[in-house]
Chain A
Amino acid sequence: MVENRPWLNLISHVVLLLGVAVVVFPLWVTVVSSTHRGIDLMSAPIPMWFGDQFLANYTRMLTAGMDSVAGQPLGLMLFNSLVMALTIALGKIAISLTAAFAICYFRFPLRMTCFWIIFITLMLPVEVRILPTYEVVANVLTPLRKLLGLFGYEADEVVLLGMTIDLNLSMLDSYTGLTLPLIASATATFLFRQFFLTVPDELTEAARIDGAGPMKFFRDILLPLSRTNIAALFVILFIYGWNQYLWPLLITTKPEYVTIVMGIQRMVNVADTEPQWHLVMTATVLAMLPPVIIVVAMQRLFVKGLVETEK
């Protein structure tokens, strides 16, 4: 602080408190509404203080669920979201680490081509190529079939070395389909590449003199050094995976693969009737809880991750 101005300090606190109030108010309304009976939320103004239905609402949603999502309990949806978030976060980190390692620590033909192919994905978010991506997931072998088609071979299966290989492989309605197509990551690859470039060459030389091969160097020296970067990235990617919406909406139709974020949309958009708001708000609280806890508990890693992924 440059000079002492008590009035200005007071104004600062008032503005900040107002800002916090606006930001937190939706959370307050949600949590309060999730502790009431449905009938209490039928007419305005809705209650602004807690009711006594906390246990009833949460137990009901976690074990039984709602009809509009085919009676799927939220426990299962939370599990699906967790699988999605963890697989995407860990998968992205794993394949980006190895890709960055290859690009930094080896000289090989087509090195820059590989780099640019990964770079391009930055400019191709799912949102801009919805339909063709859906077609690929519906049959992952489409590119192969089109290639064979160029040589005049069009069939549903191919016989290779006496084995018949089916040329249809659908990833719709599966955990693989939910996660695998989202695992490629230019951002993570760049982040690790930037970091590897700051690792001193002397470490590599020393490792080589001691007789360590590339994989041993990667495992015993690079990975331990990257620990904080990995943790920071994990926080960001976990939130990214948990909050996916368009992707599960496209490729899942069966109720057992519904994620919690998608499930809430189905609870709200019910035909011809008002949603059961007390239960929707219960689901909303449960959907927000895991990522919010991670951000608040790992605040420093979160901030580090945010700043670094934007470089």
Chain B
Amino acid sequence: MNKRVTFKSQWLPYALLAPQLAITLVFFIWPASQALYQSVLRQDAFGLRTEFVGLENFAALLADPLYLESFHVTIAFSVGVAAVSMSASLLLAVMADRVIKGATAYKTLLIWPYAVAPAVAGVLWFFMFNPTIGINAWILRTLFGYDWNHTLDGGDAMILVVVAAAWKQVSYNFLFFLAGLQAIPRSLIEAAAIDGASPTKRFWTIVFPLLSPTTFFLLVVNVVYAFFDTFGIIHATTSGGPANSTTTLVYKVYADGFVGLDLGGSAAQSVILMAIVVALTVVQFRYIERRVEY
């Protein structure tokens, strides 16, 4: 789409674009190209010599059981976050769509976690699940006899980060599900009600299928969130442990590159992550084209 009426100037558009382009080139394009470049190089331990090694860094990475494990961890984490937060928020949105009294109050009380920083959300749940003093750990111990300890048990640690990440994402999903529900024509639901369909049947045969564009959109957004925006939650609570059970791909790039200073390996990991972002973005954009038809 283009404007029919435009202004004429030889230099003004470049001047207007200059700040955005300068920052983009220096802090985005340049580092990304460096990551691509370094991913095919190997540096010796003292940084004195670098040599071209082709795809060796990638081959080494894909043969590394720790890296493959972080793939599994990331997938388990994303599926957990998306499943927990999307099902909880869909349930709440369906209920909020029904009620008349207090709808605004419910909405306000449900959306504020969006504003909480991931790292802070992590610390909140870390405190509540603290094995010695945490209230949730205490409830699990006294009521269910379960000895919660996320510093020793990888499963517990995973549940902790999934709960913290999902808790923060519920507000976002809730808002979009509610908007999606309110966009469904009332006449369809009324017609089904006159035909004698129960609320449950109406939900599964009419509301849920009509909601599928929103659901799919949120699925992509939640996966992107779980992949890239949850570094703070993991770093502030479990630091990837115990025994790498919560080391996601992004956490591993940080740990290997910034803490472990493995240049080529970290660059190769960056390149793989970039490929994942590109794939997710393409999925998101193709979907948005489809949404227009609805």
A residues adjacent to B (C-beta < 8 A) = 1-3, 5, 8-9, 11-13, 15-16, 19-20, 22-27, 29-30, 33, 41-46, 48, 94-96, 98-99, 101-108, 111, 114, 117-118, 120-125, 127-137, 140, 142-143, 180-181, 183-185, 189, 196-197, 201, 204-205, 208, 213-215, 217, 239, 242-243, 245-246, 249-250, 261-262, 264-265, 268-269, 274, 277, 280-281, 284, 287-288, 291-292, 294-296, 299, 302-303, 306-307, 310-311
Contact = CB atoms under 8 A, between A and B. Distances in A.
Contacts of A294: 115
Interface in B141-180: 141, 167, 170-172, 175-176, 179
Contact of A181 (B27, B102, B120, B176): B27
A19 B231 contact: no
Which of the listed residues A22, A25, A124, A135 has the most CB atoms from chain B within 10 Å of its own CB?
A124
Nearest to B33: A132
Nearest to A268: B123
Given A26-B128, A287-B117, A264 B236 contact: yes
A132 B32 contact: yes
B52 interface: no
Chain A interface mostly helix, strand, loop or mixed?
A: helix
A288 B120 CA distance: 8
B273 to A, nearest CB: 4
B219 interface: no
Contacts of A204: 3, 5
Interface in B245-281: 250, 253-254, 257-258, 263, 266-267, 270, 273-274, 277-278, 281
Contact of A20 (B91, B106, B132, B232): B106
Interface of B: 1, 3-9, 12-14, 16-17, 19-21, 23-32, 34-35, 38, 88, 91-92, 95-96, 98-100, 102, 106-120, 123-128, 130, 132-135, 137-138, 141, 167, 170-172, 175-176, 179, 186, 189-190, 193, 199, 217, 221, 228, 231-232, 235-237, 239, 250, 253-254, 257-258, 263, 266-267, 270, 273-274, 277-278, 281, 288
A292 B124 CA distance: 15
A122 to B, nearest CB: 6
B277 A105 contact: no
- Nearest 4 pairs of A and B residues by beta carbon: A243-B117, A132-B31, A291-B115, A102-B16
Given A15-B92, A95-B23, A287-B117, A246 B232 contact: yes
B20 A189 contact: yes
B57 to A, nearest CB: 13
Nearest to A266: B236
A185 B30 CA distance: 16
A259 B252 CA distance: 23
Contact of B1 (A45, A105, A197, A249): A197
Contacts of A121: 24, 28
Contacts of B274: 123-124, 128-129
Contacts of A27: 112, 124
Contacts, number: 313
A239 B115 contact: yes
B119 A98 contact: no
Nearest to B288: A311
21 contacts: A8-B199, A13-B95, A33-B127, A44-B133, A44-B138, A46-B138, A98-B20, A99-B17, A118-B21, A128-B270, A130-B266, A131-B270, A134-B258, A184-B24, A189-B20, A242-B117, A243-B120, A262-B119, A265-B232, A291-B115, A292-B112
B27 A133 contact: yes
Given A120-B28, A128-B253, 15 more contacts: A8-B199, A16-B99, A33-B127, A102-B17, A117-B24, A124-B274, A131-B257, A214-B12, A239-B114, A245-B118, A245-B119, A264-B236, A288-B117, A303-B111, A306-B114
B23 A98 contact: no
Nearest to A265: B236
B5 A129 contact: no
Given A30-B127, A128-B277, A23 B3 contact: no
B133 A41 contact: yes
Nearest to B269: A128
Contacts of B199: 5, 8
Given A15-B95, A26-B124, A295 B133 contact: no
A197 B8 CA distance: 18
A249 B258 CA distance: 11
Nearest to A250: B258
A142 to B, nearest CB: 8
Nearest to B199: A8
A23 B110 contact: yes
Contacts of B7: 105-106, 208, 213-214, 217
Nearest to B273: A128
Contact of A295 (B114, B217, B288): B114
Which of B91, B118, B128, B236 has the most chain A CB atoms closer than 10 A to its own CB? B236
Given A239-B114, A306-B175, A265 B31 contact: no
A130 B1 contact: no
A265 B119 contact: yes
Contact of A44 (B19, B109, B132, B217): B132
Most buried by B among A9, A102, A122, A306: A102
A302 B113 CA distance: 13
Contact of B111 (A22, A140, A295): A295
A284 B28 CA distance: 32
